[in-house]
Amino acid sequence: GVMALLETVRALRAGPPLANDVIVLITDEEGAKHNAGKTFRTIPMPKVHPFIDPLVYAVPVQLLAYHAAVEKGTDVDQPRNLAKSVTVE
């Protein structure tokens, strides 16, 4: 589960430092309480039916990825190394 993944990341962090490592956990309120203090940031989400979890959780993950890319200076509108079949109009 999530706890095992967090412990694995913790073990990796005990070794050589990962480049710019940050742990962000996106979970429901119960998971946020259970994992308090074990992550850099916790983004609490509403408890929803497991069938729609991917839909609800995809939005904050996409926003996080977008803002991380912008902060890094990556041009999100001109991705590199895409196959020409994808980029040709």
At residue 47, the pLDDT reads 86
Of 38, 47, 72, 84, the active-site residue reads: 84
Using DSSP, state whether 42 is helix, strand or coil: strand
Phi then psi dihedrals of residue 54, to 5 deg: -60, -35
Phi, psi of 3 (to 5 degrees): -60, -40
Tokens read off for 55: 């839909």
Residue 51's pLDDT is 92
> If the chain, 89 residues long, is cut into consecutive pieces of 10 residues, what is the mean pLDDT of each piece?
72 62 75 71 82 88 88 83 62
In the residue annotation, 33 being an active-site residue is answered as no
Q: What is the pLDDT of residue 21?
A: 64
**What 3-state DSSP class applies to 32?**
helix
Q: pTM of the predicted model, to two decimals?
A: 0.58
What is the rounded CA–CA span in Å between residue 70 and residue 75? 7
